[in-house]
């Protein structure tokens, strides 16, 4: 079933490939149908997954390579952590396809790349083999670069495309070195196999200290961990709306998922060592990116920076290293997936209608586009962490987790600063609402049009509905997340014996 | 004396002579069909000769010559690249004013030399086969006598090639003087005592310098950019793939097969050369405007990657070298085939001529993108698996010496820089400003088949690496003489333990 879900967008892409390029309407219909079906099946998968168990579900294993000392299997499966992300990927993928109605040039290529991106994201979340995780992640990244370069906005989009390409490739390769080192030490990249091997026999501390920084900074770069974040705002500002939605909303979470699934359970000693550093770096995300967002004049740059600030919460939750903190992190991840998707969809609409996202040039848009305007207000409120949206639940969990974490090692005022980050978030979101939506309507924008037809409104409504649904009833998610998180914490509780004799550790590795 | 062993080499050599003879009776307009015939004959040799007719293993000519899985691996490699290069030459035929049949024949002779190199089990055999390759390339590189750049390429290759040969001969003399033998197996038996002899070590270093020239590794790389740029594209392709692979098979046989202990002592030096090649090639490729010249620098960088695998002095490293080489073969041949076709329309290989290729010929642009992405190491293409294997070998070797982690860091850096300059070409093809011409580019059957072979290879090796991995794993078996190297078995432990854990 998971394989079907991963393949569905690829099949859609193949069908599109067979349609001549000038039948734009048909291409678009096929893409919409394909992604809608993916979204529906992802929802079915989500509600059919059994809550309350840490086991992987819908598992499938196909041997792939077993030669020359290399053993890799195609292994997919979901647990409580990834099931929400798979749902978000399919759902935001559908919304991204739906808001791409304004792509006119080479739309066939565009939709094919978008389908590959959706498939790669779902694949990355579903992979239990880290080799395939990397594979799917790259499969989704490469279209990003091309889409920014070809369909992007602004004069410096080529520079942005190159920057994002090099930055993310460097991050991915650094992470790959970490994975390779893990492979060299254990002989497998299969998460379930690693769990089996390392249960009771944690890796030697030296290996952990070698692997962990590679994973943290490699995947951290992919997520936009301060100070490796500078690719993000400009990249998102230049990207077409659908690409920004998929990348900021979905693909970035793959790095967090890998950290949560690999680094935290299998490298606990290293995590403990690096936790304070991570806590300080996530303050960089929360405060630095928050302050930068405060000063933006470009709506897209503001949303890009605020998305980095949200990643700060996710990292803070990771650094707290307890059940409620990690659960909060996963909630933030899922919530931000929908939130970023919605934000970039809305700014994309504004950009298409007015041709600009300069906040000082905009103003009073709420009168000319009441639907999009009110959606934007709701979306920004969700971004501030107002109760009723899933982001609130996630951020609350993270802060509780960090509060508990202060007892051990997190400084109290890291936590205080995180509260400060929330306040900054409120300020810049309110500022954006005031500048863009409120105030006197400018004559320039008198004839912009709102999303009036049901089809146009559907993607926005679908994303907001998810934010509200999980916000009002976060239990649907947490019941699935918590057992998986508990298993991670339990695994992380095992520490490498500092004085294990050399032969013994070698035997453990075998 | 077992002359059946060299039936493949004899076949290819005879084919070359046959092409030369046939030239006498065939009208100039029809000579390009000779290329088709030669390619078909090579394909037959590859499919039937290598599979069934020729003996599967054995030594002959008093130990000079050996057929083992390693040799067979590389023989298949050389025959395949020979086929693609011949098809490429057919495509390129209009631009070679005279002597098309000679070009085919010389290509076949170069392939013969490479086939012998794959089986060389002795320093003299190594030297003779390398000379056969080098001498044919003297001619091939300067084949477009009307073009100054081609003459320059020929002269540069001649002078530096002669210098490298001189190094190698001198080194062989020193080795023979100190060891009293030139055969690899005997060197392997006596490496412990020989590793104390300074004369022997000097000789070995000189031989390695000669091989460094063949593989275009720093600091023996000086010829590569000019020669790559000036030579006719098919000759460059054969140089990039065949000549480099011949250098590496000999390097593997000599360093890891014959004197693994000394190789293990010299691993710092090998790693240093790898790092320098990698960084020099990558950094110098950035500002290039000529695609062939850029490929020259990229070839230096790739030599660095391959040397990283050698520098690990481990089976995992040798395996990675073989796989990387296989992936490199398809990707580089694809790049040069596309260049051949494009250069038929515009005379230069300036990057600006590729502008708008995405519109002029979507197929060529797509193949080029695929090949460059594979070179840059993007999954799920062949190049990614190659880079992954190299990284794995280097990181696994980090357990023996922490310096290898530094090598891994440099490899990552090199991969990122390479992405920059390869994607510069991709950008040029798709959104690189106004094309100089707008006419479509027709694809001839020859180029079409060559490209198809390459694309299938790139995708197959990327998506289903199992087959080639198994072949490479078999091929490196002769490199591990039983009990000869303590260091090797240590490294082997890394691989077998991971194998045993499943």
Q: What is the pLDDT of residues A34-90, one digit of tens each?
A: 999 999 999 998 888 888 788 888 888 888 887 777 788 888 888 888 888 999 999
The DSSP annotation for A340-361 comes to HHHHHHHHHHHHHHHS--BTTT
CA distances from B276 to A62, B149, B407 (A): 41, 27, 11
**What is the percent of chain B with per-residue pLDDT over 70, rounded to a whole number?**
93
Say yes or no to pLDDT of B487 above 80. no
Q: What is the pLDDT of residue A505?
A: 40
CA angle A344, A329, A236 (to 5 degrees): 20
Q: Which of the listed ranges A392-401, B168-177, B187-196, B309-318 does the model predict with the highest average pLDDT?
A: B168-177
Distance from CA of B67 to the nearest CA of A (A): 21
Which chain B residues in 397-426 lie under 8 Å from chain A, judged by CB atoms? 398-399, 405, 408-409, 412, 415-416, 419-420, 423
Cβ-contact A487, A261 below 8 angstroms: no
What are the helix (H) ranges across B54-147?
Answer: 69-92, 100-119, 123-141
Size of interface A-B (CB pairs under 8 A): 110
How many CB atoms are closer than 10 A to CB B274?
29
Cβ-contact B367, B448 below 8 angstroms: no
The C-alpha atoms of residue A47 and residue A312 are separated, in whole angstroms, by: 30
CA angle B465, A257, A410 (to 5 degrees): 140
**What is the percent of chain A with per-residue pLDDT over 90, rounded to a whole number?**
13
Q: What is the pLDDT of residue B1?
A: 52
Q: Which residue of B has its CA nearest to A140?
A: B379
Cβ-contact A113, A146 below 8 angstroms: yes
- Yes or no, beta carbons of B430 and A149 under 8 Å apart: yes
Say yes or no to pLDDT of B486 above 80. no
Q: Which residues contact A147 (CB under 8 A, 6 or more apart)?
A: A110, A113, A114, A117, A239, A240, A242, A243
Q: What is the pLDDT of residue B501?
A: 37
- Yes or no, beta carbons of A169 and B472 under 8 Å apart: no
- Yes or no, beta carbons of A184 and B470 under 8 Å apart: no
Please check whether residue A116 touches B, CB under 8 A: no
Q: Which of B388, B419, B470 sits opposite A165 (nearest CB)?
A: B419
Please check whether residue B496 touches A, CB under 8 A: yes
Q: What is the pLDDT of residue A185?
A: 84
- Yes or no, beta carbons of A166 and B502 under 8 Å apart: no
Q: What is the pLDDT of residue B485?
A: 40
Mean pLDDT of B92-100: 80
The C-alpha atoms of residue A83 and residue A485 are separated, in whole angstroms, by: 13
The C-alpha atoms of residue A263 and residue A323 are separated, in whole angstroms, by: 16
Q: Which residues of A touch B459 (CB under 8 A)?
A: none
Say yes or no to pLDDT of A508 above 50. no
Q: What is the pLDDT of residue A320?
A: 81
pLDDT tens-digit series, residues A272-327? 888 888 888 888 888 888 888 888 888 888 888 888 888 888 888 888 878 888 89
Q: Which residues of A touch B472 (CB under 8 A)?
A: 68
Chain B interface mutation, best of A132, A173, A195, highest count of B Cβ atoms under 10 Å = A173
pLDDT tens-digit series, residues B277-320? 999 999 999 998 888 999 999 999 999 999 999 998 888 889 99
Say yes or no to pLDDT of B502 above 70. no
Q: Which residues of A touch B396 (CB under 8 A)?
A: 184
Residue pointed to by tokens 């790959």: A176
The C-alpha atoms of residue B105 and residue B114 are separated, in whole angstroms, by: 14
Q: Which residues of B touch A71 (CB under 8 A)?
A: 498-499, 502
Q: Which residues of B touch A65 (CB under 8 A)?
A: 465-466, 469
Mean pLDDT of A358-378: 84
Q: Which of A150, A180, A197 sits opposite B431 (nearest CB)?
A: A150
Please check whether residue B30 touches A, CB under 8 A: no
Taking each helix axis from N to C terminus, what angle separates B69-92 and B466-475, rounded to the nearest 10 degrees? 120
Tokens found for residue B324:
């990387």
Among the ranges given (A119-123, A248-252, B114-118, B479-483), the one the predictor scored with the smallest mean pLDDT: B479-483
Say yes or no to pLDDT of B483 above 70. no
State the pLDDT confidence band at A495, using cuts at 50, 70 and 90. low
Report the C-alpha dihedral over residues A23, A28, A29, A32, rounded to 10 degrees: 160
CA B164 to chain centre: 18
Q: What is the pLDDT of residue A228?
A: 86
ipTM for this model: 0.84
Considering the entire predicted model, what is its pTM?
0.88
Mean pLDDT of A18-47: 88
What are the helix (H) ranges across B398-482?
Answer: 403-431, 445-463, 466-475
- Yes or no, beta carbons of B373 and A68 under 8 Å apart: no
Say yes or no to pLDDT of B434 above 80. no
Say yes or no to pLDDT of B499 above 50. no
What are the helix (H) ranges across A284-322?
Answer: 290-294, 299-320
Domain ranges of chain A: 2-509
How many CB atoms are closer than 10 A to CB B290?
18
Among the ranges given (A233-237, A254-258, B211-215), the one the predictor scored with the smallest mean pLDDT: A233-237
Of the candidates B118, B109, B350, the one whose C-alpha atom is nearest the C-alpha of residue B235 is B109
Q: What is the pLDDT of residue B54?
A: 66
pLDDT tens-digit series, residues A94-153? 999 988 888 877 788 889 899 999 999 999 999 989 888 998 998 888 888 888 888 888
Q: Which residues contact B352 (CB under 8 A, 6 or more apart)?
A: B289, B428, B432, B433, B436
Among the ranges given (A132-141, A152-161, A240-249, B199-208), the one the predictor scored with the smallest mean pLDDT: A152-161
Q: What is the pLDDT of residue B325?
A: 93
Backbone φ, ψ for residue B65 (5° rounding):
-130, 135
Chain B interface mutation, best of A17, A65, A70, highest count of B Cβ atoms under 10 Å = A70
Q: Which residues of B touch A210 (CB under 8 A)?
A: 398, 405
The C-alpha atoms of residue A477 and residue A168 are separated, in whole angstroms, by: 30
Cβ-contact B245, B114 below 8 angstroms: yes
Among the ranges given (A293-297, B344-348, B353-357), the one the predictor scored with the smallest mean pLDDT: B344-348
The C-alpha atoms of residue B266 and residue A122 are separated, in whole angstroms, by: 46
Q: What is the pLDDT of residue A410?
A: 61
Q: Which residues contact B395 (CB under 8 A, 6 or more apart)?
A: A177, A180, A181, A184, B404, B405, B408
SS3 A200: coil
Strands B58-60, B65-67: pairing kind: antiparallel
Residue pointed to by tokens 């519109």: B359
Higher pLDDT: A383 or B56? It is A383
Q: What is the pLDDT of residue B398?
A: 83
State the pLDDT confidence band at A496, using cuts at 50, 70 and 90. low
Q: What is the pLDDT of residue A509?
A: 38
Mean pLDDT of A194-205: 81
Element (H, E) at A63: strand A57-67
Q: Which of A142, A162, A188 sits opposite B501 (nearest CB)?
A: A188
Per the DSSP assignment, residues forming a β-bridge with A57 are: A78
State the pLDDT confidence band at A510, using cuts at 50, 70 and 90. very low
Tokens found for residue A447:
């004839």
């Amino acid at each position: 079933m998971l394989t079907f879900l991963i393949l569905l967008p690829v099949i859609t892409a193949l069908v599109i490939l067979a349609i001549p390029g000038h039948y734009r309407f048909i291409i678009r219909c096929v893409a919409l149908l394909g992604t809608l079906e993916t979204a529906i099946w992802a929802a079915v998968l989500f509600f059919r997954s059994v809550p309350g168990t840490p086991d992987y579900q819908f598992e499938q294993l196909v041997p792939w390579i077993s030669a020359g000392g290399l053993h890799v299997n195609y292994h997919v499966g979901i647990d409580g952590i990834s099931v929400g992300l798979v749902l978000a990927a399919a759902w935001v993928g559908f919304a991204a396809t739906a808001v791409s109605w304004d792509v006119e040039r080479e739309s066939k290529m565009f939709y094919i790349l978008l389908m590959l991106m959706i498939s790669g994201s779902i694949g990355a979340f579903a992979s239990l083999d880290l080799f395939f995780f990397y594979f799917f992640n790259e499969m989704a990244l490469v279209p990003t670069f091309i889409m920014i370069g070809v369909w992007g906005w602004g004069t410096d989009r080529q520079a942005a495309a190159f920057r994002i390409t090099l930055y993310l490739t460097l991050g991915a390769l650094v992470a790959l070195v970490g994975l390779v080192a893990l492979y060299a030490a254990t002989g497998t990249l299969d998460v379930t196999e690693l769990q089996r091997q390392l249960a009771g026999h944690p890796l030697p501390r030296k290996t952990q200290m070698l692997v962990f920084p590679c994973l943290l900074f490699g995947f951290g770069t992919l997520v936009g961990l301060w100070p490796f974040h500078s690719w993000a705002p400009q990249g998102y500002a230049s990207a077409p709306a659908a690409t920004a939605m998929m990348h900021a909303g979905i693909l970035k979470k793959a790095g967090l998922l890998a950290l949560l699934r690999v680094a935290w359970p299998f490298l606990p000693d290293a995590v403990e060592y690096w936790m304070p550093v991570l806590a300080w770096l996530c303050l960089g995300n929360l405060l630095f990116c928050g302050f930068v967002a405060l000063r933006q004049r470009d709506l897209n740059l503001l949303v890009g920076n605020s998305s980095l600030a949200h990643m700060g919460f996710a990292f803070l939750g990771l650094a707290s290293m307890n059940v409620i903190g990690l659960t909060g992190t996963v909630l933030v991840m899922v919530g931000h997936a929908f939130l970023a998707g919605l934000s970039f969809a809305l700014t994309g609409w504004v950009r298409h209608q007015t041709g600009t996202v300069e906040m000082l040039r905009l103003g009073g848009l709420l009168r000319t586009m009441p639907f999009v305007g009110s959606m934007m207000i709701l979306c920004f409120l969700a971004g501030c962490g107002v109760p009723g949206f899933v982001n609130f639940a996630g951020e609350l969990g993270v802060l509780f987790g960090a509060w508990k974490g202060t007892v051990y090692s997190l400084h109290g005022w890291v936590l205080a600063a995180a509260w400060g980050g929330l306040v900054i978030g409120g300020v810049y979101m309110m500022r954006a609402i005031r500048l863009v939506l409120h105030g006197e309507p400018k004559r320039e924008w008198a004839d912009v049009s709102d999303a009036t037809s049901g089809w146009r409104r559907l993607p926005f409504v679908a994303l907001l509905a998810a934010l509200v649904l999980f916000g009002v009833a976060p239990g649907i998610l947490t019941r699935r997340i918590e057992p998986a998180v508990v298993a991670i914490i339990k695994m992380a509780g095992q520490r490498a014996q500092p004085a294990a004799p050399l032969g013994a550790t070698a035997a453990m590795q075998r | 004396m077992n002359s059946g062993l060299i039936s493949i080499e004899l076949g290819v050599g005879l084919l070359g002579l046959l092409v030369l003879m046939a030239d006498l009776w065939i009208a100039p307009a029809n000579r390009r069909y000779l290329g088709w015939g030669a390619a078909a004959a090579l394909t037959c040799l590859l499919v039937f000769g290598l599979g069934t007719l020729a003996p599967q293993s054995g030594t002959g000519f008093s130990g000079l010559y050996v057929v083992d899985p390693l040799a067979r691996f590389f023989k298949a490699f050389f025959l395949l690249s020979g086929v693609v290069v011949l098809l490429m030459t057919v495509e390129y035929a209009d631009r070679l004013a005279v002597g098309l049949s000679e070009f085919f024949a010389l290509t076949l002779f170069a392939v013969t030399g490479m086939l012998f190199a794959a089986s060389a089990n002795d320093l003299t055999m190594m030297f003779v086969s390398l000379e056969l390759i080098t001498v044919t390339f003297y001619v091939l590189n300067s084949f477009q006598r009307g073009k100054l750049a081609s003459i320059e390429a020929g002269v540069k290759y001649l002078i530096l090639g002669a210098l490298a040969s001189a190094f190698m001969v001198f080194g062989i003399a020193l080795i023979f003087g100190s060891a009293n033998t030139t055969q690899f197996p005997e060197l392997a038996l006596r490496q412990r005592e020989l590793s104390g002899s300074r004369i022997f070590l000097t000789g070995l270093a000189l031989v390695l310098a000669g091989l460094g020239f063949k593989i275009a590794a720093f600091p023996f790389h000086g010829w590569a950019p000019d020669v790559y740029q000036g030579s006719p594209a098919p000759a460059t392709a054969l140089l990039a793939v065949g000549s480099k692979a011949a250098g590496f098979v000999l390097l593997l046989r000599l360093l890891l097969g014959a004197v693994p202990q000394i190789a293990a002592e010299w691993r710092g030096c090998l790693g240093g050369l790898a790092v320098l090649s990698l960084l020099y090639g990558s950094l110098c490729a950035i500002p290039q405007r000529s695609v062939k010249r850029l490929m020259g620098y990229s070839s230096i960088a790739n030599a660095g990657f391959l040397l990283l695998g050698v520098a690990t002095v481990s089976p995992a490293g040798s395996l990675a070298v073989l796989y990387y080489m296989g992936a490199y073969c398809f990707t580089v041949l694809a790049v040069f085939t596309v260049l051949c076709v494009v250069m038929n329309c515009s005379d230069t290989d300036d990057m600006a001529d590729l502008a708008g290729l995405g519109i002029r010929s979507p197929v060529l642009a797509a193949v080029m993108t695929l090949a460059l992405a594979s070179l840059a190491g993007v999954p799920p293409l062949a190049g990614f698996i190659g880079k992954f294997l190299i990284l794995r070998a280097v990181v696994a070797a980090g357990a023996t010496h922490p310096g290898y982690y530094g090598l891994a860091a440099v490899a990552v850096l090199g991969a990122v820089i390479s992405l920059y300059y390869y994607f510069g070409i991709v950008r040029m093809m798709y959104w690189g400003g106004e094309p100089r011409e707008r006419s479509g580019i027709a694809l001839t059957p020859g180029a079409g088949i060559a490209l198809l072979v390459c694309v299938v290879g790139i995708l197959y090796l990327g998506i289903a690496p199992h087959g080639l991995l198994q072949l490479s794993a078999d091929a490196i078996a002769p490199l591990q003489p039983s009990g000869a190297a303590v260091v090797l078995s240590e490294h082997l432990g890394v691989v077998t333990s991971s194998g045993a854990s499943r």
